A and B are shown apart, each in its own frame.
Chain A
Amino acid sequence: MQPNKSVMVTNGGSKSKAKPTLFQRIKHRLITRGEWQLYLLILPVVVYFIIFHYAPMYGIQIAFRNYSITKPILDAKWVGLTYFERFIKSPMFSQLFKNTLVLSFYDLFVGFPFPVIFAVVLNQTQSKRLVKFTQTVTFAPYFISMVVLVGMLHLFLSPTSGMVNKLLETIGLEPVYFMAEAKWFRHVYVFSHVWQRTGYQAIIYFAALTSVDPGLYEAATIDGATRLEKIWYIDLPSITPTLVTMLLLAVGRVLNVDTQRTLLMQAPTNLVTSEIFGTYVYKVGLINAQFSYSTAIDLFKTVINLTLLIIVNQISKKLTEESLW
C-alpha cells in the first residue's frame, strides 16, 4: 500500500488545481503505474473465458429457437418456450427429476458424515505414523480415473467371477447382478463414491481440526472433559464453518450429479434409476442431435440449481452467518 500512497499524494496535489479527466486517470493508472502489465497477464484467461464460457451462454438462445447445426443461430426460427413445455409434459421429466434428486441427496447424506467422522478419528489418534499412513492410503483412490473405477466395480461385482458374489455364495445367497439391476444402481454409486472420496474430503476437515488451539484441549482435560465431550464441544464447532461451506456448495450442485460417473455406470437395464439430467442431455443432444431440445433441458436444470443455491445461501446467512459470497 505504501507506494500507492505516494502516488495518491502527487495525484491529490494536482486534484486541488484541476480534476483530471477520465482519460488522464486511465492513462495514469495504465501507463504511469504500469497497470497495463497486470491487464496483459490476465488477458489470455479473460479471452479464453469469453470464447469458451460466455459465447456458450450466448448460445443458450437455441433453447428458444428451432436450431439446426447447418445454419447460423440467428437464422433459426424463434419458438419461445415450446421446448420447455415439451420437456415438462414428457414422461422423462418426472423420471429425471426424481432420479437426479434421489441420487444427489442419497449421495449427500451418506457421503457427508464419512469424511467428518474420519477426520475426527484421525485427529484423536495419538500415533502420528499411523495417521500419516492412513491419510496416504485413503487419499489414493482419488487418483483412480472414473473409467478404471467403474471397470473395477464390474470386476468385483460380477455375478459370475466377482469376489463380492463369491462371498455371497459362500454364505448361501443367490448371486446379485449389481451393475445391471436398477435397484442396485444408487447403492453402488453412493458407496463407491464413499470409497473413492472419503480420504480426499477428510483432508479439508482434518486441516481445520489441526489448527485448533491445543490449549483448548488442555483446559478441557483440566475441567475433566471426556474424549467424547472434547469431540463434541471442541472438534465439531471448529469444523462447522468448513462443514457449512461444503454443504452449501453441495446443495447448490444438487442437480449436477456427476454425469461422467453415471454414464459409465449405466447399463440398458438400470436406466429406470440411472437416467439423470446430465446423461439425458448428452443422449438427446449429442447422440440424437436434438440441439435445441437438449439445451432447453440443460438450461432448465441450471436455473433450478442456481435458484436452490441462492435460497440455501440466504437461509445459511440467516442461521449461521456463513455465506458463499
Chain B
Amino acid sequence: MSKMSVTGRKIRSSREDMVFEILTKILLIIACLIVLYPLYFIIIASISNPDYVISGKLSLFPVDVTFSGYRKIFKFKNLMNGYKNSFFYAIVGGAVSAALTLFAAYPLSKNDFSGRKPFTIFLLITMFFQGGMIPLYIVVNKLGLRNTPYVLLIVNGIQVWNLLVTRSYFKTNHIESLSEAAEIDGCSHFGYFFKILLPISKPIIITMVLFYAVWQWNDFFRAMIYLDKPDYQPLQIVLKELLATAQISSAIYDLMENQEALTEMLRAAEQMKYGVIVMATLPMMIVYLIMQEYFVQGITMGSVKG
C-alpha cells in the first residue's frame, strides 16, 4: 500500500466523520425540542393570560403573566386532598414495597437456597398468567379492602419484574468472600443480609423505592376500580375529573344560554388545567432530575438476564 492512499483514506474518513457528527447533533437537538417544547408550553400557558392561550397566540414567551390559575388551584380542596393522599401512597408504598421486594430477592439470589427454584417458578408464573381484573376485584372486595387507604398500597404492591431486577443485582454484587467470612464468624443469614449486604446495596434500595413511588404517584386505573369516595382518592383521580370536566363543558358550551358567565368559567378552567398539569408532574420531575442515575441503572439492570 502506498502512503498516498492511506492519507487519502484518512481525509475521506475525517470528512465523513465531520458530516456524520453534524448530522447526529442535529438529530439529537430535534429530539430534545420535540420533547421539551410541549412541556415548556404547558409551563408558560399556566402563567399566561388564558385568552392568549385559547386563541393560540402563545408560542415562545409567557404573555400577560398572571398567577390567578395557581391561586385557584390552591383553593381547590379536592385537589389538595388528592395531593396529600398521593404523597402518602408514594412514600409509604415506595418504602413498604421496596422493603418486601428486597427481603424476597435476597433468598432468591442465593444459589444454595433450597427454595430458590420452586419460589422463582411460583413468582414467574404470575408474570404470564393472571386471574384477571374481576377475580382480583372479588378477592379485594371479600377482604374488605375497597375504599380503604390501604388498597392502593396492596393491590399490585409487589412486582415480579422488580424482584428479578433486585435479585440480579444481589447476584452480581454479592461478595463471596464477605459472605464466607460472615458465615465463618457464625454470622446468620439475617446478620449477613441486614448488616453486610444491605449497607453496600444502597443503589438498588434507592432504585426500588423510586420505582415503586413513581408508579404509585402516576397510577390511575387501580384507584378508579377500588376507590369511589374522595377521602382516599389519589391526585390522578382528581386530575382526571378536572381535565375531563372542562372538556365536557366546552362541548355543551354552544347549547348554554348564559354564555358570558360560562366563558368566564371556561377561561378559568383552561388556565387551571395547565396549572394542575405542572403541579402534578413537578414532584416526579424533581425526583427524576435528582435521582436520574438510579432510574437509568434500574432499567439497564432489568435488561440483564439472570
Contact = CB atoms under 8 A, between A and B. Distances in A.
Given A48-B157, A139-B288, A148-B280, A125 B218 contact: no
Most buried by B among A141, A147, A166, A263: A147
Nearest to A284: B134
Given A124-B20, A298-B133, A302-B130, A156 B270 contact: no
Contacts of A138: 31-32, 35
A143 B24 contact: no
A69 B138 contact: yes
B243 interface: yes
Interface in A126-184: 126-127, 130-131, 133-141, 143-148, 150-152, 154-156, 158, 160-163, 166
A223 to B, nearest CB: 10
A298 B137 CA distance: 13
22 contacts: A37-B190, A49-B126, A51-B143, A52-B155, A54-B131, A57-B129, A59-B135, A59-B136, A62-B135, A125-B21, A134-B28, A138-B32, A139-B292, A144-B284, A146-B220, A150-B243, A155-B42, A155-B274, A161-B55, A166-B56, A252-B128, A295-B134
Interface in B216-257: 217-221, 225, 236, 239-240, 243, 247, 250
A127 to B, nearest CB: 7
A281 interface: yes
Nearest to A158: B250
Nearest to B37: A163
Interface string A188-202: 000000010011100
Contact of B285 (A140, A252, A281): A140
Interface string B193-226: 1000000000000000000001001111100010
A34 interface: yes
**A: interface residue count bin:** 35 or more
Interface in A33-86: 34-35, 37-39, 41-42, 44-46, 48-49, 51-60, 62, 69, 73
Given A147-B239, A166-B56, A227-B20, 13 more contacts: A41-B106, A41-B193, A62-B135, A127-B21, A139-B292, A140-B35, A140-B285, A161-B55, A161-B56, A195-B35, A278-B133, A291-B134, A299-B132
B243 A151 contact: yes
Contact of B132 (A56, A158, A207): A56
A309 interface: yes
A121 interface: yes
A21 interface: no
Interface secondary structure of A, over-half rule: helix
Contact of B183 (A3, A118, A286, A306): A3
Nearest to A203: B299
Contact of B221 (A137, A144, A259): A259
> 5 closest Cβ contacts across the A-B interface?
A56-B131, A59-B135, A145-B218, A298-B132, A45-B104
Interface string B148-160: 0000001111100
B132 A44 contact: no
A160 B249 CA distance: 14
A308 to B, nearest CB: 11
Contact of B139 (A44, A52, A127, A224): A52
A8 to B, nearest CB: 10
Nearest to A153: B38
Interface string B284-305: 1101110010011001101101
Nearest to A322: B305
Contact of A286 (B114, B115, B134): B134
B112 interface: yes
Given A34-B188, A204-B299, A39 B41 contact: no
Contacts of B126: 49, 53-54
